[in-house]
Each structure stands twice: as structure tokens, then as C-alpha cells.
Structure 1
Amino acid sequence: MPVFRLQPLWLGPLAWSALLILIALTGNLALADPSGSVQESAVTPDFGMMVRYVFWALIAVTGIAVAALLWSWLLGRRVAQRTRQLRRELNERRQVELALRESEARFRDVTEAASDWIWEMDDNLRFTYLSERFYALTGIAPQHVLGRARWELATGDSAAEREKWRRHRELLEQHLPFRDFAYQTGIGDRHGEGRYLKVSGKPVYDGQGQFRGYRGTGTDITEQIKAETALQESELRLRQIIDLVPHMIFAKDRYGHFLLANRATAEAFGLTVAELVNRSHCITYGADDEAERMLSDDLEVIESGASKFIAEETFTDYTGQAQTMQTTKIPFTTPGLGETAVLGVSINITAQKRAKEEVARMRLYLKNIIDSMPSVLIGVDPWGYITVLNQQAEQVSGLSWETAQGRFFGDVFPQLEGQFEQVRQAIRLGQPIKTPRMTLEVESELHYADVMVYPLMADGASGAVIRLDDVTSRVRIESMMVQTEKMLSVGGLAAGMAHEINNPLGAILQGSQNIQRRIAQDMPQNRAVAAAIGVDLERLNRYLEQRGVQHFLDGIREAGVRAAKIVADMLSFSRRSESHFGLVDLEEMLETVLRLAASDYDLKKKYDFKRIQINRDYDPALRLAYCDKTEIEQVILNLLKNAAQAMTDEGTPDPAIILRTRREPDALLIEVIDNGPGMDEKTLKRIFEPFFTTKDVGAGTGLGLSVSYFIVTEQHHGRLSVSSKPGQGARFSIRLPLRRGALS
């Protein structure tokens, strides 16, 4: 318990208590003497009264003292509490002031370092304050701004600008806060350029709630606006560029929604770019399988992270037409979202494909043309390397175009290696060069070819085309024509000789007949002349008979008749120009041919047809044939002579020929069958080729059977065939179409 001590603070109340007692006593004394005069000698206070006064005075003093002591204690306690409170408040104030100073310092540092500035407006909406950052950031002197309203600083008089400022002023007049209001100043910066500003503000009110103006922040967005403008211009240029690209350019997310599309893409779907963007390709594409295929390709690119090239794919446009596209798809990350999408470029190659197909068709057409040519065509470059071969050249070389391409033509065609100088000369002179009748050996056979070298000088192309024309047939035909001319000359000579022979032959026949008539005993005139001269006609005939004169005369007459028949056959065979189709006696025609063959004895060929046995096997029911008699005689005679020569050359014992005729359902059959050496398979394959012969050089031209084949197949529309085996003879079959009247 605290010890009560008389504190100096208590002396005041005690002194005041004592003073009050004295005043009270003095007052009592004064009251005892109403007149107010004090007569010291006469006063005799009442002791009891006095004691009472003193008692009450002491009580009062004691009460006052106690009250003073209590008040002093309470006051001291309050003072101590207040002191502690004041100290606490003082400390807090110091802390607040320190925090305020630190906050002000931080605010100052932030505002000085920040890209914003502080501004204030009065209740008239005119600028009253701009922080130092305003000039640092904008380059606009504050004195050009202070005292002016914001709209007085702005520029731009478009309808959109006017509407923007109207709404802003309404907002200010309603004392409402605003954020991010952007405008362009008409006041230039240190470079004289207007600035783009963006401000935010709040209304300010005083303690009585009276509107005092606005306070807020501002930032310079000039560089941002320039960057956005540049970006917009760049995007516009990019948009213009991709819209000018005639190919489809697009971007899609993994769900098939278009993130980007150029005009060509939109037009392919019959939409605008705005209508196509954010639209799903599943709705856009006409065919479900196309949509699934394209989405599958997109997902493959997105998930693999690798680009994909699609050489050809079908795309159905909005008209329902199928287009052929060549597409490249590349994965990329969408800006801001970080999601993988696909960027694609599709080129419509429908026209190119059709053109390519047309080019391929034309190439094939031209190749078919050059392949159908009988000539050998070899395309070479200026250095003699092969660029093209036709089918004939492939057959001759045994190599395909692809295999021979790029090889020196002299390596592929060794027999033409000497033509390289002609190739160079043709290219140098720009004129074709011809080498006629060049000798070539093909499959061990001698051939002739005309070689033409044509220079290529069109459209900047350089090189040459070597053309080989096989003129073997022409050379041989020319030889045949020479031979034919000789034969015609011989035929004419034979005809002339036949005519000349006919005259003496007629005289011989006539003379022999007249001799037999003049010695005949049954003629009266002969007997009369004999009697007149004294000759016994019977005895003369006996003499002539015994001496064989009659036999000689019969032989002369018979030989003359045979000679006349031979001459008639020769004349008939030599008149080819007079031949024509008609009904002929088949047996008579065959017998005529046999007589002609029998009369042919050529020591050079060393065979005699008369030594060959002829077996006739004629169909008795087949007597007439519709044909060109002269030409069929030539065919059969050629077959007979070939058979006779083959059997004679090989020394066939007992040579024989069967001449057979038969009627088939649709043809007349004439067969010439021999028992000679026969032929092998290789000879059979080429037996009817022009100029093919197995005879020795100079023994034949190789044209007999080819001409016979031509006469039967081309002139008579029939068939000429052969069957043979080595050592088993040969069978030649002539089938001529049946004609009305050819049957008996």
C-alpha cells in the first residue's frame, strides 16, 4: 500500500483551506458586530461559540484536506496517465511522421521513376497541378497546360472524336471517376510533335462534401500508339499481301476452327474472311470424308510437331467442283495462348494437273507417232549423247529409252559411230546431211539404210535427230526392177522368137502334111499323076513304109504340133498385161504349167523337170476356178521349179511331185507336194519375205515366193501356206475363194 506523503502539489489545497477558515472566522466576528466597528477592548467572544467555530473549522479543514489529498491523488494519477498517453501519442506521432516522410519519399521516388504523372484540376475542370514527371515524359512545358481544360489541349475534329469528348465532358460534369481516357494533344512537345496521352481521375471533395475538382494520373502512350499504328499498318500490309496471294493461306486450331484465312481461302468456300474466321471446317467443307481427312492431317502435324507436304488432295469448293490442291502444313504456336495450331498453304493445281496430263497425253501422242514410224529415230545432244529413242531404235539397239538415255550414241549403235562428224557438221551448218545407202549388218544380215541428220535449233534447243530409213527393200526392189526389165526384155524376145518360129514351124507342119497327102493312095489325083509318069504308087508307098519315111513324116508332124503348142504356151505366159479374172479350166491350167515346167531345162540351175515323177490327184468334181489364169500359172510354175531345184540340189532319190486339187467349205485348194529335203523352223518363218533365199549367190533373187504370196493374198484374197520338216519334203497350199460357177 503506498505511503501517503505530503507532496508539494498538496500544499496548495491546504493553504486554500487555512485561508478559508480565517475568512470564516473573520466573517463570524464581523457578524457579531453589525456596525462593523471592532472594539478590541469591548469584545468578549463566546467561548462555546468559538469552540464550535473552531471544531467546524477543523472539520472543514480536515475535510478540505482530505478532499485535497484525494483530489491530489486522483489528479496525480490522471496526470501520470495523461503523461503516459501523451508520451505514447508523441511516439506514435513521431512514427506516423516518420512513416509519412518515408511514404512521401517512396511516393516521390515512385512518381519520379514511374511512367505516370500526377495531375490536379479545380472545380472548373482546369489544370492546377502537374508533377515533374509530366514534362520529363511528354516534353510539354507545364505552363502550356496549367489553367486550361483538357479538351482545350486536344486535337482532332472527326465525328468519332467529337462524340468521344462529348461523353467525357458529361462524365466530368457529373463528377464521376474515369479510367484510361486517351486523346491526342494539339500542343507540341520539345520536337513540336503532338503526344498521345491516357489519363485516369477521381473527383475530390472537401470536408463538407463540396466538389473541389479532380486528381489523377496520366501516362504518355505516344510510343504505344505509334507501335499499335505500325502494327496495324503491318497487319494491314500483311493482310493485303496474303489477300493478293492467289493461293489459300489459313491457320486452324486443333479443333478445326479457322484462326486465319486469306481472301482466296474464303472465296473457295463462298464466304468472306470475317465469315470464315472462327468457323469450323467441319461445317465448311462439303464432303464429310474431306473434313475428316483434313482434320486428321491437321492433328498429325500438331501432335508430331513436323510439317507435312501433301502433293495432291481433293478439295470440294462451294460450287461442288472438285479441285486438286497441293498443300503444305506447318505447326506453330498461337501468340498469347501458347497452343499449337497448324498453318497451311494450299495451291490449286487443278489447271496445272490438267495441263500436265495434257502434256503427258501430247507426249504420249507424239511418242506414238514417232514409235509408229518405220524409221529409226535417235535424238542426241551436241556432244552425241542420246536424248530420245523411238520404238524402232529400241528394237534395233535392244535397249529402252530410259536405259540408253545419256549414253553416247556410238556406244549404243556402234555401226553409226562414224556419223558423229556428220552430227557436228549438221549442227554447225544448221542444215540436214544425208548419207545414202549406208551398209549395216543386222542379225547377221546385210541391210541398207539412208541416214539423215537433222539439226535441232528451235526455241534454243541444240542437238540433232538421226533418222535411219531401212531401204533394203527398195534397193532390192530396184534390183528386182532391173531384173524384171531384163525378164520383160527376155519375155518380149521370147514372144518375138515365138512369132518368128511360128512361120517356119507352120511351113514345116504344112509341108509334112502335104507330103503325106501327096503320097496317099486314096487320092485320085495322086494316082493319076503317078500313072502319067509311070510310077507304081503302091510300090512307092511300100518303099516309103519299109524305109520308115512314113514314120519320119509322122514324127515331123507330131513334133511340129508339140512345138506349136509350146510356142502358144510361151505366148500366153508372156502376155501378162492382158491377164484378167475369169472362169478357167483348172486341169487344163495345171497341165499347161506342167508343160511349161517340162520345157524348162536350165543347165545353170542343173535340174531337168522331165526327170521328176509327176503324180496328179485332181478332184473330178472340181473343174472350173475363178482366178487370173496367168498369175496363178506363175505361182504354180514357181512352186514347181523351186521343188525341182531343191530335190536336184540335195540329190533326192526318186524325186516326185504331187499336184492335188480339192474343194473345201469356203475355198478351192491347190497343193504342190514334194519329197525333197524339207525346211527347218527358221526358214519356214521367213520363206515369204522379200529377197530371202537359201540359194547360192546369183542363183536366185529371193522374190519368187514373196511375189507368189502377194499374188495369192492381195490379188486373189486367198491364202498361201507352207508346212515342212527337215527330211520330210514340203507342202505348199494355195486356197482361193470360191466363186459362182467354180463348182462343176
Structure 2
Amino acid sequence: MLSTLSIVIAGITAYVGLFHISIFFHDRSRKDSIFFSLFCFSNAVYAVFSFFYYGEASQPGAVAWQYGMSLIVPLITISLLWFTLLFIGQKSRRVSWLITAFYGAYYPVAIILDPSCVRDAGRMSVRIFDFPGGIDVRYYDAAPGILTYLLYAVHIFLFIYLIILTIRSLGDGRKEAKPLAAVLAVLILSFAYDVLVGRGVFDGVYFMGYTCFMAVLIINRSLSMKIVGGASALHSMEESEERYRAIFENRGTATGIVDRESTVLLCNERFEELSGYSKAEIEGKMKWTDFIYQEDAERLRSNKTFLQDGNVFQFECRLNSRSEGEKYIQVNSSYIQGKGLYVVSLNDITDRRTAQLMLLQKNLDLKAANEELEVTNEEFEAQNEELAAAYTELESREKQYRDIFNMATDSLFIYDEKGLIALANPTACETYGYTAEELKDMEISRLVHTDYRHLFSEFMDSMRKNETYRGNAMDIRKDGTTLYTEVRGYWITYMGKPHILSVVRDITERKRAEDLVVQSEKMMTVGGLAAGMAHEINNPLSVIIQGIQAALNRISPGSEKNREVAAGVGIDLNKLEQYLEERHINVYFRGMQEAAARAAKIVSSMLNFSRSGSTRISTSLHGIINESIGMAEKDYSFEKKYDFKHISIKKDLDESIGDILCVPEEIEQVFLNILKNAAAAMSENQAEEYTPEIIITTRREQGHVVITIGDNGPGMDEKVKKRVFEPFFTTKSPGSGTGLGLSVSYFIITSNHHGTIEVESESGRGTIFTVKLPLGAE
């Protein structure tokens, strides 16, 4: 049971090590994480060896496991040493390298020499631990060899060295040293363990062998808090970066944001110029003290007020510029409250220092030098006042422009020359259905409908030629729906780089209204033409129909008058009828009758374009809808194409809607035409898993009643949708339809009932007809 505890500790310790080694691979600057991971893995291996050691029943096996444990201990110790140096920010001293060299030499010596130099199997002891409850733990313990005693001596020296470093760090106010002090206090228990075992005292010391596990937990907590704290500091810095970036970059003094270890997290262009290094080389990788001479850096670190919370620090030293050589600078640092960061300004005073040296060499009048210095200070104060005023003005303008950007009713996009979106306003997010985070770095072309991508390419070409662009397009939302837009483009400067500002206005409703006007004018023109043609065709068609019928009546043997006249001229009508049947002349007559009847039906439909409609009466809208559904289910010719009873009909009707003023038969005709077209379209899909469905809804809307009839059929493309209400336009096969059903429906709704009828459809997404009628008496 007690040995099992070692495996549990090994698993936890190895997991902690894996976590921190992943931290190192994520951020290579955290070298303390890699040494802490090594510390964890070493302890995990030690715990596994302990598991086998305490459970080993044979003497040779116990000696082998104890030998392995002795080889792991130096690795634990050396990883703790280097972790401590990196964690508290101490530079590697000569003592650290000497200790490391000893441990490096220990392994080959221990392997080359006899194993008894590590653990002497000839001096074997049997250790017995008595635990409450009658539990005894018995294991073999080989006496330490000469190398192990030497290792103990180095361990003691190392711990004294670590204690001294920790005490110094605590004296310097470094908070990181507090958990290390706790770790060292815990690890002293391991020495107590060895002393007690050496004196033959075994009871109660078993658990002291797991003090390293306690050290792992303490260090893990402190290191994790440091990582989280650093991430939080960087996050806070990023939040304020945008607000102060402009003023920060334009400041005439080399300025940087540094952490407690003096690492430069952010610097301006003047800092680059002064140091001779680029931002990519500096930020997050170099300390600002790396740029000053070593003796000046040592003098700076000896000053205990340097980088202390709440202190404003000023210091003069020499800077080694990669591009300009030695320069004199004045360092000013101040603490950023609540952030754990500092603002460090490096003011180039080389000219001033040179002037001072020249003044000293030439023994100029001290009063003149003081007056010049006062003038310089006044100019510096004036510059600071101008800087503060400029910052206030910049902040005010930034807020003003941001408010305009955020409150604009049009969609605004800012994107670079590659089309990657940098910023979008709330209206754009709402219009297109994306969040601001989703739009950031998205290609702007993804919002343009595929049929209009060529116009977007023309837009980008115009912008690259520095031409202001204005045009129309069709865009697509996140949910796949489309909208018509009016687009204008301008070049602007954003974050110091050229970007394109697109002002996008949603003109879907305006486009729909324009299309409705064009459609109405076209339908009125075509309808008038069709009605005129119907009047001209109707009279000769009537003569044809009546003539065919009269001819059939005159040759019918069933009429006595026909038989008398036929007998007078020597004709047998029965023989004549037989002849007509044998030569299929009667078939021609019947075909002529059917064709004439079809033409008469078309003429009747065409005449509807010129009729003003019958008298409107107050009728139940929902009653008309139900009657239309019933008629569709009973229509014989319709059933030949599709069994309407197999269609799922769903209704969502507003029961508060009562009667409307209309011609019931005409409205029924409209609904029946739409239902027939929907069923015919859905009949094209013969898949077994497909369930045809029609959804009918009604609702009130500003003095009107709105009826929608939608299906889940194949839908229609843009070209078909534009012509769907035109007379004689049909997508059915020849002879299957006249192409007048929807055009007549259009005139019934618009001309006879002063309403509107619209269609919404896309290929593969079904079709929805929307009919809007004025409300009548209820």
C-alpha cells in the first residue's frame, strides 16, 4: 500500500513536468520552465524506483534499485539549482558552473568505478518501519559508498549556496524568492530523513522521503501564477495599446514598456533608432539594460530604488548603439499602477553631455551654463505641455471618429490591399450576421455573392488605381441569405498603413420596390396587349368552334332531318359515319374540338387581363384558403401529375383575421394556381426520403393581411424568377401548361384587389409566394 503511493506521486509529478515543458515550447523565453520540467521528471523517476525498491524482496534487486536512485539524485539537485537561478533572475555565477561540472563528472566516474563506490552491498542493513495498525515495512539498505558521501557534501554546500541566494533576493524585495524559501525549508526534511536513518531511527520517517513532491507542488503553484500574471500583464497592455499607440510612437524620446526583469515588451520607433536594433529583435527578447555598458549596468543594479513599485527613477549612463556607437542617455522609469510594468524612457543627452564637457574644458562662465540649462528645461517643459495637449486632442478626435464609425447606419469595413478585414462596425456585424471577431482577418470577398465576384475584382482594380469607386452588388449573409448593396470605396490610413474603407448600404428594399414598379409596368403593358389579342381572336375562334359543332350535327344519323336530306341526294348517313370512322376523320374533328376548346380557355384567361373584376364581398380569408386546398386535392388532371394527398400541409393562421373584401372565386383561383405549381415542382423529386411540404401562413401588417405559401421544392434561379408572372411563360413541357396561371393571378391581386404578389426563391431552397391584400370588414 505504501509503495503504491510512490506511483501516484510519480504520475502527478510527471504530469506537472509535461505541463511546464509545453509552456516552454509555447514560449521559448521561459527557460525556468524547462529546468522545472527536468526537476519534475527526475522526481517522477525517483518515485518509480522507490516503488520497486520498497517492494523488492531480494537483496540484489534492492541494491540495484537503490543504486539507480543514487544516480537520479544529482539530476534532481542540478535541475533545482538552475531553476532557482532563472526563477529569481540571478546570473549564472562561477560557483553554479563548478557545481554543475561536479555533477557532470559524477556520472561517468560512478559508471566506471565499482558500484560499491556508490552503494556498498557488502555492508547491508535491514530497515524495518513499524506503522500503527500492525503494518510493517521491511527493505534492504546498502551502506553509502565514497562517491555518495562526496555527493552528500556537495549537496550540503549547494543547499547553503541556494539559501544564501534566496536570502539575498528576499533582501532585494524580490517576491519570487518567497516560494523558494518554502521549498528549501521542505527539502531540509530530506536531510533530516538521512540523518535519522543513519542513527537507526526509522519509525515515522517513511513519508519524509516524499518531501521533493511537496517542493514540486510549491514551485508549480508559484511558476503557474507567474505565467498567468505575465499573460495578464500582456493582455492588459494589448487593451491599452491601440489607444496610446499613436502618441507613443510619435514621442520624441526613446520609450519602452518593461517588466520586472527589465525585458522590453514594447518600444517605439525612436527606441529602434537609438539602439540600432529593430522591434522584432528587441520586443520580448532583450532587456533594456543590454544596451548600456556593463559597468553602468552593475552600478544601476546596485541602486535599491531601481524598478521599485511606486518609485520614479532617474539615472544617467552610457548606451552602446549598434548603429551610432557610444551615446550618453538619461534613463527615466516610472511604475504603471496595478500592471507590474514600468515605463522606461531613454533620453539622448549626448549633445548636452558633449556641450557640458566643452564648457568645462573651455572654463566658460557657470552662470551662462545655468541659464542655458534653464532655457533647455523650459523648452522641455513646453514640449511636455505640447505633448499633453496633442494627446488630449488626439484622444478627443479618436473618440469622435470611433463614435461616428460605430453609430453609422451603413455597414463600414476597413481592410488591407489583400482584402483582409481589419475592422467592421456594429451595423456590418448586424447586417451580415457575424460577430466582430469572426469578421476580423476574414477575406472581404467572402461576403460577395459568387455571381458578383467579377464586380469585386473590378472594384479592387479601381482602388489600386487610386480611383474612388461607387457601384451596386449582391452580398451574402452568414446564414446564406442575400442582400442588394450599394458600395463606395475610399483609401484611408489605418494603424499607420494604407487601407480601404468600404461604405456598404443595404438597398434590398429599394431594389425590391424598383423591381416591383418595373414588373407592374411590364405586366400592365403585356396584359393590355394580351387582352387586345384575345378580343381579336375570340370572334373567329367562336366561328371555328360553332362550325365544327354544326358540321358534326349535320352528318349525325340520329337526326331525322339529316336522314331526309341525305336520302334525297342518295347518301346513307350510317355508311358515311362508318367511312368517317374508318378514315379517322372523326378523330380529326375531335382533335379540332379539343384544340379549339384549349384556345378558348387561353382566350378566356387572356380576357381576365382587361376585366375589372366582379363585385367584391366580405368573405372569410381562412375559408377561401381551406376551400382552395380542397379543390386542389380533388382536381383530376392535377392528380395525374402528383397526388396532392401525399403532400404535408402545414398552416400557421392568425385567428384574429376575419373577413376581407374580395371576389372569392378569383382569390381561390390565385391560391389554387400557386398550390398546383408547388405540387408540380415538388413532383420532380422522386427520392424516397423526400417529404413534400407546403406551409401556409397569415398575419396582419399595417392595414393589410399577408398570406405566404411556401414549398420545399427545387426552387428557381434568378432568370426564371424574373419572368414567372409573364403571360405564356412556363417551365413545363409543351401541352402541360398555358403559362397564364400566375400572370392571371398577378392581375387578379394587383388590378382587381389593389394588393401585391411577390415571389422569393433560390435554386435548391424552395419557393415562397407572398400575397398582400387590404383588410376589409371583419
Query: Is TM more than 0.5 here?
Result: no
Q: Which has the higher helix share?
A: 2
